[in-house]
C-alpha cells in the first residue's frame, strides 16, 4: 500500500512544531525557576531591610555583631511571632511584631510572582515564533531530505544521468535539463570542479617541483663534466666544482625535505605533539638564536606585558616562526633592524610577530605568498625554493591560527601569527 504524499509532506513540519513546543516549555521552566529564586531573595532582603529600619527606629543603631537576635512566640502560634534584639549581656533592647510584616511582604512578593507569570504567559507566542524562525533552516532541510527520500527515480532517469556524464561539455560540466534532477546535477558539477582544481593543483605542483629540481641537477652534471675533463690537472677547477656540487646538493636536499614535509602533511602522516608552552620563552629563544645565526642584522625583541601560555606543538610552531625570520633576514638590507614580538590582539588572541624593513610586497604578492613555489618578481633574485611559507601556513592552519600581514614595497613587512 502506497503512503499518502500529503502525510509525508507535513511530517517534518509536525516534528519541528513538536521541537518548538519543547523549546518553549524548557525556556518557560527556566524563567520560572529564575523568578522563584529572585523573589525568594527579594523576600529575604525586604525582611532584613525591615529589621534594619526597625532597629534604627527603636534602638537608634544597628550593630551586626554586638546584638543577638531571635524570633519568638510565647503562645506557639505563627501570628504571635515577635522579632527580639538582645545586648551581649542578655538585656532585651527591642521586641516587635514580626508575623504581620512578613505576611505583608510575602503577599507583595507573591503578587509580583503572579505578575511575572502572567507576563511569561503573554510572551509565549513570541517565544514560540522565535523558536519557529530558529528552526526554519532545519525544517527546510528535513523537508528536502523527506522529499528526496520519497523521490523514486525511474530507470530512464538513471540512463539520462549516465548519458549526460558520458557526453559532458569540454569544461566537464553536465546539464540534465530536469527539475527533479537539479540537486544531483549541481552536486556532480561541484564534484567535477573540485576534481579539476585538485588535478590542476597537483599538475602545477609536479611541474614546479620538477623545474626546481632540474636546475641543481643541471649544475651538478655541468660541474661533473668539468671535473671529468679538467679536474684531474687543474686544482682551481677541482675546488670550484666540488664547492658548487656541494652547494647544489645541499640546496636539492633542502628542497626534497620541504617536499616530503608537505607530502606527509597532505597525507595526514604528520601528527601534532601538543603541549603547554610559554610563547614568551619560545620567541625569546628564537630571538637569541637569530644573533648567532645572522650577524648582519640587528634584532630587537618586544615582549608581552604578561606571560602567554597556549597548547601547541613547540617544534613545529618554532619552525614556522623561523621561516618568517629567515625570510625577513633574506629580504632586508644589511644592518637594517628586524623586530620579533609576542603579545595579544585587541580581541585577546595571542600572537607571534616578525617585522622587517626589507623589500616589501605588493597586495597581489600578499594574496599569493602562501602558494607552493610562488615567488614574487622582486624575490626571484634571492635564493629560495618558494616552499617555506607554504610550510609555515600548513603549521599555523593545523594550530587553528591565521596570518595577519601588512606589507609595503620598499618599506617592509609585518607578519603576525595569530593563535587561539
Per-residue pLDDT tens digits for 303-348? 999 999 999 999 999 999 999 999 999 999 999 999 999 999 999 9
Average of pLDDT values for 198-210?
68
> Pick from 398, 175, 390: which is nearest to 263 by CA?
390
Q: What is the DSSP pairing of strand 338-344 with strand 299-302?
A: parallel
- pLDDT band per the 50, 70, 90 thresholds, residue 6: very low
Fold held by 275-418: Heat Shock Protein 90 (3.30.565)
Q: Specify the higher pLDDT residue, 356 or 126.
A: 356
- pLDDT band per the 50, 70, 90 thresholds, residue 264: confident
Q: Residue 153 — φ and ψ, nearest 5°?
A: -80, 140
Instruction: Provide the grid cell at 143.
Output: 523537508
Q: Specify the pLDDT at position 15.
A: 61
Average of pLDDT values for 159-173?
71
Fold held by 183-266: Helix Hairpins (1.10.287)
- Out of 6-10, 105-109, 258-262, pick the least confident: 6-10
- pLDDT band per the 50, 70, 90 thresholds, residue 171: low
The secondary structure element, H or E, covering residue 326 is: helix 314-330
Average of pLDDT values for 181-205?
74
- Out of 38-52, 87-101, 252-266, pick the least confident: 252-266
Q: Specify the higher pLDDT residue, 161 or 306.
A: 306
Distance CA 373, CA 203 (A): 13
pLDDT at 299 over 90: yes
Q: Specify the pLDDT at position 1.
A: 40
- pLDDT band per the 50, 70, 90 thresholds, residue 9: very low
Name the H helices within 232-278.
235-266
Q: Specify the higher pLDDT residue, 173 or 283.
A: 283
pLDDT at 13 over 90: no
| Listed ranges 65-74, 98-107, 249-258, 382-391; the one with the highest mean pLDDT | 98-107
Distance CA 278, CA 312 (A): 10
Query: DSSP assignment, residue 228?
Result: I
pLDDT at 154 over 70: no
| Listed ranges 203-217, 254-268, 324-338; the one with the highest mean pLDDT | 324-338
For the chain, the structural domain boundaries read 5-150, 183-266, 275-418
Query: Mind listing the pLDDT tens digit for each residue in 109-139?
Result: 999 999 989 988 888 888 878 877 777 777 7
- pLDDT band per the 50, 70, 90 thresholds, residue 93: confident
Average of pLDDT values for 64-79?
83
Give the mean pLDDT of the chain. 82
Q: Specify the pLDDT at position 208.
A: 63
pTM of the entire structure? Answer: 0.50
Distance CA 156, CA 399 (A): 50
Amino acid at each position: 500500500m502506497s503512503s499518502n504524499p500529503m502525510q509525508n509532506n507535513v511530517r517534518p513540519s509536525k516534528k519541528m512544531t513538536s521541537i518548538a513546543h519543547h523549546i518553549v516549555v524548557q525556556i518557560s521552566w527556566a524563567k520560572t525557576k529564575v523568578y522563584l529564586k529572585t523573589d525568594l531573595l527579594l523576600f529575604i532582603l525586604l525582611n532584613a531591610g525591615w529589621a534594619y529600619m526597625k532597629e534604627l527606629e527603636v534602638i537608634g543603631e544597628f550593630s551586626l555583631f554586638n546584638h543577638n537576635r531571635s524570633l519568638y512566640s510565647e503562645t506557639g502560634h505563627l501570628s504571635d511571632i515577635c522579632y527580639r534584639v538582645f545586648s551581649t549581656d542578655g538585656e532585651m533592647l527591642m521586641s516587635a511584631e514580626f508575623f504581620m510584616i512578613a505576611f505583608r511582604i510575602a503577599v507583595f512578593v507573591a503578587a509580583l510572582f503572579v505578575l511575572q507569570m502572567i507576563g511569561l504567559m503573554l510572551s509565549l507566542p513570541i517565544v514560540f515564533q522565535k523558536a519557529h524562525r530558529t528552526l526554519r533552516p532545519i525544517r527546510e532541510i528535513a523537508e528536502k531530505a523527506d522529499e528526496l527520500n520519497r523521490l523514486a527515480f525511474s530507470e530512464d532517469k538513471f540512463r539520462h544521468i549516465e548519458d549526460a556524464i558520458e557526453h559532458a561539455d569540454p569544461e566537464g560540466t553536465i546539464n540534465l535539463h530536469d527539475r527533479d534532477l537539479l540537486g544531483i546535477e549541481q552536486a556532480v558539477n561541484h564534484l567535477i570542479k573540485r576534481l579539476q582544481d585538485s588535478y590542476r593543483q597537483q599538475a602545477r605542483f609536479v611541474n614546479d617541483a620538477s623545474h626546481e629540481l632540474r636546475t641543481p641537477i643541471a649544475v651538478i652534471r655541468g660541474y661533473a663534466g668539468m671535473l671529468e675533463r679538467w679536474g684531474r690537472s687543474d686544482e682551481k677547477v677541482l675546488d670550484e666544482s666540488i664547492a658548487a656540487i656541494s652547494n647544489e646538493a645541499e640546496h636539492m636536499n633542502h628542497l626534497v625535505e620541504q617536499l616530503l614535509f608537505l607530502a606527509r602533511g597532505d597525507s595526514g602522516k604528520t601528527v601534532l605533539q601538543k603541549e603547554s608552552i610559554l610563547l614568551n620563552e619560545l620567541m625569546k629563544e628564537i630571538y637569541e638564536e637569530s644573533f648567532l645565526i645572522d650577524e648582519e642584522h640587528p634584532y630587537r625583541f618586544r615582549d608581552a606585558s604578561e606571560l602567554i601560555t597556549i597548547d601547541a606543538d613547540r617544534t613545529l610552531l618554532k619552525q614556522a616562526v623561523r621561516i618568517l625570520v629567515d625570510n625577513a633576514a633574506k629580504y632586508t638590507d644589511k644592518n637594517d633592524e628586524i623586530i620579533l614580538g609576542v603579545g595579544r590582539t585587541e580581541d585577546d588572541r595571542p600572537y607571534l610577530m616578525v617585522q622587517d624593513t626589507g623589500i616589501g610586497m605588493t597586495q597581489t604578492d600578499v594574496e599569493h605568498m602562501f602558494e607552493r613555489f610562488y615567488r614574487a618578481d622582486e624575490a626571484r633574485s634571492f635564493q629560495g625554493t618558494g616552499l617555506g611559507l607554504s610550510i609555515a601556513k600548513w603549521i599555523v592552519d593545523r594550530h587553528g591560527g591565521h596570518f595577519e600581514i601588512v606589507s609595503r614595497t620598499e618599506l617592509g613587512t609585518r607578519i603576525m601569527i595569530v593563535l587561539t
